[in-house]
DNA sequence: AGTGGCACCTGTGTGC
DNA sequence: TGCACACAGGTGCCAC
């Protein structure tokens, strides 16, 4: 489900329920997500949350007793709910993990397809050195993601540019929806090989990635099927999508029919006239 | 090393 | 109505 904007919207939706409050109870389901939910998740009980941050599509919850790493996978989402007492809390189907806070808020992770991840680390440092985090590329909304950096990463890359910008070793946070949208705005054919982009195209692409992600965060993310923020609100950036899911519909610029192709096993949408 | 393809899951929509 | 199949916002592992 979630790309960078949806994860950031989720982070903002849970931070006020967590930050500065004490975890009095942890719930974990018996079934595995992408990895098993280990017993050491219980270690967070009694800890006070000190920070809720995001790195790529991961949410990181730092506490006085260690750090929690969470990934939402395709269908994960958090809800912030009120509870009266822990033992009578009624979970929904596919609720796999929950934190019960001393402010009477429950932060509950629901993940239908179970591609998500929840792992406990003894320290923030250990978490950032974990295999999930340590090799991640720069954040797209920082100055580290710039023309010089991307040009260097793309030279000699014999993969479609669409696949390249979804590669976490090149830039993080760009998923299947925003990849199509950014390439449309940049007038770049998604099948074009990464190494064949001109300097100007790389520069324009960076501008559009930053712009699209930032605007989507401000709109509450994109809801295609089931994304919702932790407060249950839907994402309204879907109204600003130009090509994703628009197969056969007219291009908003030239009216040519939007085409769909599969790149790296993922549906990709583009205007064959505007994107060269 | 770089690249392509598939596997991991559940649910929904489509077409026969 | 029922069934089979394709597809869905992500990532990691495997074989070439």
pLDDT in tens, A39-62: 999 999 999 999 999 999 999 999
Using CA atoms, how far residue A28 sits from A214, A264, A266, in Å, is 33, 34, 32
User: How many angstroms separate the CA atoms of A221 and A219, rounded?
Assistant: 6
Tens of pLDDT, residues A198-253:
999 999 999 999 999 999 999 999 988 878 888 988 889 999 999 999 999 999 99
User: In this structure, are residues A11 and A54 in contact, taking their beta carbons and an 8 Å threshold?
Assistant: yes
Q: Is the CB of A235 under 7 A from strand C?
A: yes
Residues A116 and A96: their CA atoms lie apart, in Å, by 10
pLDDT at A154: 96
Read off the pLDDT band of A176 (50, 70, 90). very high
Catalytic: which of A54, A57, A105, A163? A57
Q: What pLDDT sits at residue A229?
A: 87
User: Is position A266 annotated as part of the catalytic site?
Assistant: yes
Residues with CB under 7 A from strand B: A 32, 34, 93-94, 112-115, 156-160, 163, 264-265
Would the pTM of this model clear 0.75, i.e. be above it? yes
- Tens-digit pLDDT profile for residues A70-108: 999 999 999 999 999 999 999 999 999 999 999 999 999
Mean pLDDT score, A158-171: 97
- Cβ atoms within 10 Å of A57's Cβ, excluding its own: 23
Q: Which nucleotide is nearest to A168 (CA to C1')?
A: C11
pLDDT digits (tens, 9 = 90+) for A8-39: 999 999 999 999 999 999 999 999 999 999 99
What is the model's pLDDT at position A12? 95
**Alpha carbon distance A88, A99 (integer Å):** 14
Q: In the block, which residue shows the tokens 């999930």?
A: A132
Q: Mean pLDDT across the stretch A133-160?
A: 96
Residue A1 has pLDDT above 70, yes or no: no
């Amino acid at each position: 489900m979630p790309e960078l904007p949806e994860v950031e919207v989720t982070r903002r939706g849970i931070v006020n329920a967590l930050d500065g409050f004490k975890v009095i109870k942890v719930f974990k389901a018996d079934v595995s997500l992408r990895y098993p939910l280990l017993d050491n998740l219980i270690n967070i009980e009694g800890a006070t949350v000190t920070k809720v941050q995001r790195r790529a599509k991961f949410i990181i919850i730092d506490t006085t007793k260690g750090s929690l790493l969470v990934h939402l996978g395709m269908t994960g989402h958090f809800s912030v709910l009120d509870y009266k007492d822990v033992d009578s809390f009624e979970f929904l189907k596919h609720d796999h993990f929950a934190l019960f806070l001393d402010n009477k808020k429950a932060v509950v992770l629901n993940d239908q397809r179970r591609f998500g991840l929840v792992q406990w680390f003894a320290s923030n440092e250990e978490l950032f050195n974990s295999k999930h985090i340590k090799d991640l590329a720069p954040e797209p909304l920082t100055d580290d993601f710039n023309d010089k950096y991307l040009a260097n990463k793309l030279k000699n890359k014999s993969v479609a540019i669409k696949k390249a910008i979804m590669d976490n070793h090149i830039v993080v946070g760009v998923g299947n929806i925003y990849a199509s949208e950014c390439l449309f705005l940049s007038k770049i054919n998604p099948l074009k090989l990464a190494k064949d982009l001109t300097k100007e195209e790389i520069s324009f692409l960076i501008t559009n990635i930053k712009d699209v992600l930032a605007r989507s965060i401000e709109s509450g993310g994109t809801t295609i099927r089931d994304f919702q923020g932790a407060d249950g609100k839907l994402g309204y950036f879907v109204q600003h999508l130009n090509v994703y899911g628009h197969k056969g519909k007219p291009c908003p610029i030239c009216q040519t029919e939007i085409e769909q192709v599969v790149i790296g096993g993922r549906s990709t949408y583009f205007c064959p006239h505007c994107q060269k």
